[in-house]
Amino acid sequence: MHHINKDGSLNEYEKAIQAVGSILIKYDSDQRVPVRGFGIKQNKTTLNSFQIGARKVYGVDGILSAYRDALQKNLKMVKSRDWTVLIANALKLAMNEKVSCIKN
């Protein structure tokens, strides 16, 4: 499901990013948001949470661009085993605290 369509149409993840993001971004005063990913394998280590692209991007288009850039890097995606990391990092980001790149 993580792929870039050659015809320019959105994949299922991009559709979800656009649908949810377009609603939530309205509640962010500067519309600059961090983009995090979860569930990749890097050097035999699973990362349950990792930064994608710049520290913060602007708007839904920025989120989509960061996602597409990440896909170009041929990341080895795996099922995230620990959703608590994702939830904890989202809470920390909302409170402007430093987030971690927790490994399994």
Q: Which residues lie below 8 Å from residue 25, measured CB to CB, with a gap of 6+?
A: 31, 33, 59, 60
Question: How big is the chain, counted in residues?
Answer: 104
Q: Is the pLDDT of residue 102 over 60?
A: no
Average pLDDT, the chain: 82
pLDDT at 30: 93
The predicted-structure confidence for 61-97, as pLDDT tens digits, reads as follows 999 999 888 888 777 777 766 778 778 877 887 777 6
Q: Is the pLDDT of residue 16 over 60?
A: yes
Q: Is the pLDDT of residue 29 over 60?
A: yes
pLDDT at 99: 60
Q: Give the amino acid at 16.
A: A
Angle at Cα 86 formed by Cα 79 and Cα 43, nearest 5°?
50
